[in-house]
Chains A and B, each alone.
Chain A
Amino acid sequence: MRSWRILRTGLASLVFRGRREADLDEELRFHVDRETERLVAAGAEPHEARHQALRAFGGIEVMKEECRDSRGTAFVDHLARDTRQAVRRLRRDWRFTLAAVLILGLGIGVNAAIFSVINAVLFRPQAIVNPDTLVDIYQNAPGGAPMGSSYAAYLDMAAYTDIFAGSTVTFIPHPVTYADGGPPRQAIAENTSASYLSVLGLSPALGRWFTEAEDALNAPPVAVLGYRAWTTRFASDPAVVGRIIRIDGMPVTVVGVGPANHAASMNFGAHTDFWMPLKTLVAFGAPPRMLDRDVAEAAFMVKARLRPGVTVAQAQAAMTALGSRLAREFPREDKKAGISVFASRDVRIHPQMDTVLAGFATALLAIVGLVLAIACSNLATLLLVRGAARVKEVSVRLAVGATRAQLVRHLLTESVLLALAGGAAGCVLAWWMMRWLSTLDLPVVVDFSLDFRVLGFALVLSFVTGILFGLAPALHSTRIELWQTLRDDGEVRASGHRRLSLKNSLVVFQVAVSVFLLAGTGLALQMVAAGRAQRLGYAVDGVAMLQTDARYVLNTPADQSRLFEQLLTRVKAIPGVQAAVLTRDLPMQVAGLPIAIDGAADGTTQDAGAASIWAGPGFFETLEIPILFGRGLDARDREGAPRAAVVNEGMARRYFGTANAVGRRFRIEPGDGQWMTIVGVARDTWTNDLGDIVDPVPYLFYRPVEQWNVMPTTVVARTTLGEGPLVRALQVELRRVHERLPVLTAKTMRQVLDDSLQVGQGMAAFFTGLGVLGLTLAGIGLYAVIAFAVARRSRDIGIRMALGAASQQVVWPVTREVAALVGVGTAVGLALWLVAVLVMRVAPVETSGVANIQLYQPRVDLLAMATIAAFTALVGLAAAYVPARRAARMDPLVALRHD
């Protein structure tokens, strides 16, 4: 109540300030007049009476101030006055203001941009009706970490209808291509049970969701458009409902449009374009086995709606019971690790992914936080320099009775204003960067828009920045010995030393952090270079590839197959082509699979893992991979013939104990149970992922597309006439085979490899951007400090020049100062970097349930360090150039008069 009154009078005092002041004046004037009248009536002389009446008040202004204070509006009044004064001062020093706002804007902008990415991925809540009663259920991996559930286990969970009012299952979102009349485009599809939308408590924006009957093997495929896809890809056309489009080449009927406020089952900002029934996966080529009991076949995500009154703990108890029952009933398929239940609001993507992402986000914010630290310390430097230049003004104000607290308050108001303006500039910058980011053709469309969280983040950041980095300079510049500064020469030698050293350490800090960030660039480039230097072991020059999808033009597998045979024949006939092969995906693209090794002699099997590469007859000739033992894949390895495979030497040695493993058998486990017989051993090669430089020798096996009941998608060829023209020739031949066959990918092998370095290059660009930004800021700070030092020494310089010193002798101390600051900063930055490198080298391999993450072990790169040091020195020189030249060209006469 009381605080409300204070707030109200405070606000009123702001709004009605003028009127209230006038009221106060009039009231006091009335009093004086009345008192004068009384005194005159008592016989005093009018003039003298008035004087006496006024005197009775004491200081009238002081009393007015007391009246204002007693109203509790003083704080607001002071704030308003301080703000007005600060604005006036900042407008007067517009150069300084502009520099400070730019510096802070860059720092806060980069932070807000990164934060808005993290916000989109980690913080934005999902639209779910009654999120309190929704749970996520996971079968655990051995060890107890939540993973995914098998489809059969989902059906068992769903049977607990006394606990769950409804349940739904989804499969991990995956990329598809689709065409609606025009050429195929990339999109993201997600398969769910028919109950999905009703369990979440949402309803379609248009049309309907798919039904139980449509979620069946052999049912004609239907799809619901994601709302975002409907508005951006289908122009919000309501007539799209009922239309037949093609997804991955298959005709699919659109039956509805999803809810506007729901993006995807996994809440990380990505938008699902097509929702399809779960079992449609099989129609699109997945093996029906994926719906079995063994979770290794396929992992599904389960959500369930609790019945009213049922708690998460009760659901967990029921699922624990189910877990033990499954372990008993299915000793072979079940991992016996139990089942975990989470409240859905505690999960964003997957409990394990969430942890990884949070760590990643923290690291990212810490890195961009360094840029903010540079910007802030930069602002502090500028404020210090400015404070030092204002020593006289401050001294005068102290002398006429201003308290130090008042001065500090003035200076703080100024820096908070600066920080807020910087924050606003930062938001504009962040908004602009986000707009640029969403124009990029990313495989996943994430909604990066700025919302209140981002704006709040920027606001808090600005305030903290303003106070934290305005306080030290404010305290500093008001700690003044009056008698010293008011002396005529106005120089502050005694306290000047300390202030300069704070400025110096700030500059050293800025240089050090920038160098550290640039060293991050060095690391990323080192990784890229290591990838490029990878001994590939297969042909790259002259190799090109083309990926298509025959399902877009022909419906039966036999027709599609014939089409590919025609294409292969035509490609082989292209002049200059030495060899060509039909395969799937990108050439040398790996997929990790669990396998079982046939013990042969002792009749046992051994569980293992290896990476599969799709191949076909002529694969090894096309990519010039030498066969060490046995043979490569050829025309014998066709559908119906015994399954054949070629393994690489590493895999042969690792799992079969000998390089010559020809004749031995292994199979994908779990799988269809059929063995693959090794017909040849190929020399070790690298994969097509140059960015993955951790695994020293990948265990690879090559299997022919034809024997696995899948359609080829890709033709790879090698020519003697240059791969560039070959890419074009491949497209021409594709059109000749069928004019409507879509070109999904057409690249040279070199481009495929380069694409795999994108992560490393992106990282390098990220660090370079931050490092250069940091160094630019540090350069501005350096410039300010040096310029100030030169200005402060101008009398000194003037005397020396008047006495005949050469300009080199004058410039030398300035140069020495720059060299010292930059040198120390660089040394500190590089030392920090060495520590980081050492830590990375001794860091253990981290094994989580999702992936084995091994940190890249960087080398200490002396050349990179020298480059960074040289670059930093260059920036230092550039920053010092202008002030040093001013010192060198100083006219002694002017300098001596310099105040």
Chain B
Amino acid sequence: MSDQTDLLQGTLDLLIMRTIALEPLHGWAIAHRIEQISGDLLRVQQGSLYPALHRLEHQGWITAEWGASDNNRRARFYSLTRAGRKQLTTELSKWERLSEGVNLVLQGT
């Protein structure tokens, strides 16, 4: 049970970090971007998006700044920190190894 949660949580973190690696985004945009890119295959639970953002910020991997949104309102923009970039690289290679392994098992049987 807890393993599954961890996995999902880790996945969300990975997706968030990957999304803001290109440019700083605010929460709503992150959720929207993830859904768009995944072709609506992935839905981000909004109830878990913000806790995840705050957790990542607390861990020092992402940082937030107030800025103007596209419709000129104050919004919190998240961007990767240097530590976050490094973390993203490790997470990505971990993820690739994991999915590779899972694929091998699934195709093997």
Report the separation of the CA atoms of residues A26 and B73 in the bound assembly, to the nearest whole angstrom.
Answer: 11
Verify B51–A69 contact, CB threshold 8 A: yes
Verify B55–A63 contact, CB threshold 8 A: no
Report the separation of the CA atoms of residues A62 and B48 in the bound assembly, to the nearest whole angstrom.
Answer: 11
* A27 and B60 contact, Cβ closer than 8 Å, known pairs A37-B71, A70-B55: no
Report the separation of the CA atoms of residues A67 and B50 in the bound assembly, to the nearest whole angstrom.
Answer: 6
Interface residue B95 (Cβ < 8 Å from any Cβ of A): no
* A27 and B51 contact, Cβ closer than 8 Å, known pairs A34-B69, A56-B46, A70-B58: no
Verify A33–B73 contact, CB threshold 8 A: yes
* A5 and B28 contact, Cβ closer than 8 Å, known pairs A63-B47, A66-B51, A70-B52: no
Verify A71–B58 contact, CB threshold 8 A: yes
Verify A63–B71 contact, CB threshold 8 A: no
Verify A26–B46 contact, CB threshold 8 A: no
Interface residue A234 (Cβ < 8 Å from any Cβ of B): no
Report the separation of the CA atoms of residues A20 and B37 in the bound assembly, to the nearest whole angstrom.
Answer: 32
Which of A5, A26, A31, A62: most chain B Cβ within 10 A?
Answer: A31
Determine which of B47, B48, B50, B52 lies in contact with A27 in the assembled complex, contact meaning CB atoms within 8 Å. Answer: B50
Verify A26–B47 contact, CB threshold 8 A: no
Report the separation of the CA atoms of residues A62 and B46 in the bound assembly, to the nearest whole angstrom.
Answer: 12
Q: Which residues of A contact B24 (CB under 8 A)?
A: none
* A31 and B28 contact, Cβ closer than 8 Å, known pairs A9-B58, A70-B52: yes
Determine which of B54, B60, B71 lies in contact with A70 in the assembled complex, contact meaning CB atoms within 8 Å. Answer: B54
* Contacting residues of chain B (43-65) with chain A, CB-CB under 8 angstroms: 45-48, 50-52, 54-55, 57-58, 60
Verify A57–B27 contact, CB threshold 8 A: no
Q: Which residue of B lies closest to A5 (CB)?
A: B60
Verify B58–A30 contact, CB threshold 8 A: no
Report the separation of the CA atoms of residues A26 and B27 in the bound assembly, to the nearest whole angstrom.
Answer: 12
Verify B46–A57 contact, CB threshold 8 A: yes
Verify A30–B51 contact, CB threshold 8 A: no
Report the separation of the CA atoms of residues A875 and B63 in the bound assembly, to the nearest whole angstrom.
Answer: 67
Interface residue A669 (Cβ < 8 Å from any Cβ of B): no
Q: Which residues of A contact B52 (CB under 8 A)?
A: 70
Determine which of B47, B54, B74, B76 lies in contact with A57 in the assembled complex, contact meaning CB atoms within 8 Å. Answer: B47
* Contacting residues of chain A (854-878) with chain B, CB-CB under 8 angstroms: none
Report the separation of the CA atoms of residues A110 and B26 in the bound assembly, to the nearest whole angstrom.
Answer: 61
Shortest distance between the CB of B59 and any CB in chain A (Å): 9
* A30 and B47 contact, Cβ closer than 8 Å, known pairs A70-B55, A72-B58: no
Shortest distance between the CB of B35 and any CB in chain A (Å): 11
* A31 and B47 contact, Cβ closer than 8 Å, known pairs A70-B58, A71-B54, A72-B58: no
Verify B27–A27 contact, CB threshold 8 A: yes
Which of B26, B51, B55, B76: most chain A Cβ within 10 A?
Answer: B51
Q: Which residues of A contact B32 (CB under 8 A)?
A: 38
Shortest distance between the CB of B17 and any CB in chain A (Å): 15
Verify A23–B54 contact, CB threshold 8 A: no
The majority secondary structure among interface residues of chain B is helix
Interface size range of chain B in the complex:
20 to 34
Verify B50–A28 contact, CB threshold 8 A: yes
Interface residue B12 (Cβ < 8 Å from any Cβ of A): no
Q: Which residues of B contact A18 (CB under 8 A)?
A: none
Verify A63–B51 contact, CB threshold 8 A: yes
* A30 and B55 contact, Cβ closer than 8 Å, known pairs A35-B28, A56-B46: no
Report the separation of the CA atoms of residues A9 and B27 in the bound assembly, to the nearest whole angstrom.
Answer: 22
Interface residue A58 (Cβ < 8 Å from any Cβ of B): yes
* Contacting residues of chain B (16-52) with chain A, CB-CB under 8 angstroms: 26-28, 32, 45-48, 50-52
Report the separation of the CA atoms of residues A66 and B27 in the bound assembly, to the nearest whole angstrom.
Answer: 16
Verify A34–B58 contact, CB threshold 8 A: no
Verify A30–B28 contact, CB threshold 8 A: yes
Interface residue B14 (Cβ < 8 Å from any Cβ of A): no
Interface residue B75 (Cβ < 8 Å from any Cβ of A): yes
Q: Which residues of B contact A35 (CB under 8 A)?
A: 28
Shortest distance between the CB of B38 and any CB in chain A (Å): 17
Report the separation of the CA atoms of residues A296 and B32 in the bound assembly, to the nearest whole angstrom.
Answer: 97
Verify A63–B50 contact, CB threshold 8 A: yes
* A27 and B58 contact, Cβ closer than 8 Å, known pairs A63-B47, A69-B51: no
* Contacting residues of chain A (11-32) with chain B, CB-CB under 8 angstroms: 23, 26-28, 30-31
* A27 and B76 contact, Cβ closer than 8 Å, known pairs A37-B71, A63-B50: yes
Verify B58–A31 contact, CB threshold 8 A: no
Report the separation of the CA atoms of residues A9 and B75 in the bound assembly, to the nearest whole angstrom.
Answer: 22
* A31 and B51 contact, Cβ closer than 8 Å, known pairs A9-B58, A72-B58: no
Shortest distance between the CB of A1 and any CB in chain B (Å): 10
Residue-wise, chain A 63-88 has the 8 Å CB interface mask toward B (1 for contact) of: 10011111110000000000000000
Shortest distance between the CB of B73 and any CB in chain A (Å): 6
Verify B74–A26 contact, CB threshold 8 A: yes
Q: Which residue of A lies closest to B51 (CB)?
A: A66
Report the separation of the CA atoms of residues A59 and B26 in the bound assembly, to the nearest whole angstrom.
Answer: 21
* A30 and B46 contact, Cβ closer than 8 Å, known pairs A70-B52, A70-B58: no
Q: Which residues of B contact A66 (CB under 8 A)?
A: 47-48, 50-51
Q: Which residues of B contact A9 (CB under 8 A)?
A: 58
Shortest distance between the CB of B71 and any CB in chain A (Å): 7
Q: Which residues of A contact B54 (CB under 8 A)?
A: 67-68, 70-71
Shortest distance between the CB of A28 and any CB in chain B (Å): 7
Report the separation of the CA atoms of residues A5 and B27 in the bound assembly, to the nearest whole angstrom.
Answer: 24
Verify A30–B50 contact, CB threshold 8 A: no
Report the separation of the CA atoms of residues A266 and B46 in the bound assembly, to the nearest whole angstrom.
Answer: 73
Verify A31–B55 contact, CB threshold 8 A: no
Verify A71–B69 contact, CB threshold 8 A: no
Q: Which residue of B lies closest to A1 (CB)?
A: B60
Shortest distance between the CB of A34 and any CB in chain B (Å): 4
Q: Which residues of B contact A5 (CB under 8 A)?
A: 58, 60
Report the separation of the CA atoms of residues A69 and B52 in the bound assembly, to the nearest whole angstrom.
Answer: 11
Q: Which residue of A lies closest to B43 (CB)?
A: A56
Q: Which residues of B contact A70 (CB under 8 A)?
A: 51-52, 54-55, 58
Query: Beyond the given A30-B73, A70-B54, A71-B58, could you list 17 further A-B residue pairs with CB under 8 A, ordered by the A residue number?
Result: A27-B27, A28-B50, A30-B27, A30-B28, A30-B69, A30-B74, A31-B26, A31-B28, A31-B46, A57-B46, A59-B47, A62-B47, A67-B50, A68-B54, A69-B51, A70-B51, A71-B54
Could you list 27 examples of A-B contacts with CB < 8 Å? A5-B58, A23-B76, A26-B76, A27-B27, A28-B50, A30-B26, A30-B76, A31-B26, A31-B50, A33-B73, A34-B28, A34-B71, A34-B75, A35-B28, A58-B47, A59-B47, A63-B47, A63-B50, A63-B51, A66-B47, A66-B50, A66-B51, A67-B50, A69-B51, A70-B51, A71-B57, A71-B58
